[in-house]
């Protein structure tokens, strides 16, 4: 009887963890809507962004093109706690920090060598079907830019 009770408690705990990740607006596949986005020429354009639960963290896989039109791919695994976590595959960042503000808003910061290279905000529509990423940064030539990327949930 004790083994059965322990098994049920463990199963319940795992289901609660899984449910909490499923409730996060980021989790899922997102595709860029070019028509609604305002991305300056010469800056990176993320065509797809996929967030999945990875243990007690989240994994983010980003595919798109860099400022010259070449394929770009980067990955990040971390928590939405505002702390820096390593980024792989991004020539402009070696760390990314995402902070959950509330159920529909997050802040994001990319860093290279400990210095911010990009800051931004992620906002989700009330129905959870649209994700808008507004970023501010400096391109490879030192020119400041603002980008608004609108993604639709797939």
| Residue the block writes with tokens 């020429």 | 41
For the stretch 101-134, pLDDT in tens is: 999 999 999 999 999 999 999 999 999 999 999 9
For every residue of 52-118, DSSP letters joined together read: EEETTEEEEEEEEE-TTS-EEEEEEEE-SBS--EEEES-TT-SEEEEEEEETTEEEEEEEETTEEEE
The pLDDT, as a whole number, for residue 18 is 40
Higher confidence at residue 13 or residue 113?
113
pLDDT in tens, 35-91: 999 999 988 999 999 999 988 999 999 999 998 999 999 999 999 999 999 999 999
pLDDT at 135: 98
Q: How far is CA 84 from the centre of its chain?
A: 13
- Residue 1 reports pLDDT greater than 60: no
* pLDDT score for 21: 42
């Amino acid at each position: 009887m004790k083994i059965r009770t322990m098994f049920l408690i463990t199963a319940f705990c795992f289901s609660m963890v899984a449910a909490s990740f499923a409730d996060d607006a980021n989790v899922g596949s997102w595709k860029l809507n070019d028509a609604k986005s305002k991305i300056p020429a010469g800056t990176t354009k993320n065509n797809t962004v996929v967030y999945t639960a990875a243990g007690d963290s989240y994994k983010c896989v980003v595919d798109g093109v860099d400022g010259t039109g070449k394929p770009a791919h980067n990955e990040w695994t971390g928590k939405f706690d505002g702390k820096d976590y390593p980024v792989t595959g991004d020539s402009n960042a070696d760390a990314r920090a995402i902070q959950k503000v509330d159920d529909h808003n997050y802040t994001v910061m990319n860093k290279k060598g400990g210095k911010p290279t990009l800051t931004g905000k992620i906002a989700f529509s009330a129905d959870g079907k649209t994700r808008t990423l507004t970023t501010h940064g400096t391109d490879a030539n030192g020119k400041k830019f603002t980008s608004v990327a609108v993604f639709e949930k797939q």
